[in-house]
Structure 1
Amino acid sequence: MIPYEAKPTPVHKTIVGEKIIAAIRILIRAATTGESDAEPVAAFLLAWHDPIVYGGFSIQDLWGMEESARNAAAILFAWISDNRATPQDLELELVFEAIGARWAN
């Protein structure tokens, strides 16, 4: 479930603002709706979720994303690097596992 209000994450005590929540929603929607950029968006999200299992994201995958997804990925990438947060910290494991199941080879 995507958090609806900004809240500190349990591990990092990071505040998740509306801008980050909006970026995550855009990316999850793109990865799950079958849009033309669903596969590269899913690769980005899954590399964040579990890089050992789903580490197949290539920077060149950005070229296959729609502008809104590309912008959301840039926002989220910067936030991830600043806060060292994972989807698990945001209680998004089930969402990401469903995305992984959909795109499993």
Structure 2
Amino acid sequence: MIIKEQPFTASKTIISNRVIAAIKHLVLSATTGTSDAEAVADFLLAWYDAPTYGGFNITDLWHMDNHTRQAASTLFNWLSENQATPADLDLDLIFEAISTRWAV
């Protein structure tokens, strides 16, 4: 699992502590039953496998608190510049757990 305090390399891409913190916050939000957990899970599952789990409804951002929206924005911006999947970051098991809980 990639959630650690040091920058690391995945697929020749350096991931900053800020992006790691954003992913950590989003994963925790999606798995701990926060009020915005379902919206966060939808965002993460769209990254994980949109054809299977559906795309992310952008209006779901309205259901996230400010800190969570900022984390989603950080990840989204990073993803727009880096072609990394959750599998590239060794997050498969975490995302499988999220999908088991939230997939319809």
Please report how far the alpha carbon of residue 3 of structure 1 lies from its aligned counterpart in structure 2 after TM superposition. Answer: 3.6
Counterpart in the other structure of 2:62: 63
Give yes or no for the alignment of 1:8 onto 2:13: no
Which segments of 5 or more consecutive residues in structure 2 lack a partner in the other structure? none
Q: Percent identity?
A: 55
Give 1:42 shift: 0.3
Unaligned runs of 5+ in 1: none
What is the rounded CA distance, in whole Å, between the counterparts of 2:67 and 2:3 in structure 1? Answer: 20
Tell me the SS of whatever aligns to 1:39.
helix
Structure 1 distance, partners of 2:31, 2:16, is 23
SS in 2 for 1:15: strand
Counterpart amino acid of residue 36 in structure 2: D
Cα RMSD after superposing both structures: 1.0
Partners in 2 of 1:3 and 1:25 — Cα distance? 6
TM-score for the superposition, normalised by structure 1: 0.93
What is the deviation of 1:56?
3.5
How many residues align structurally?
103
2:31 aligned partner: 32
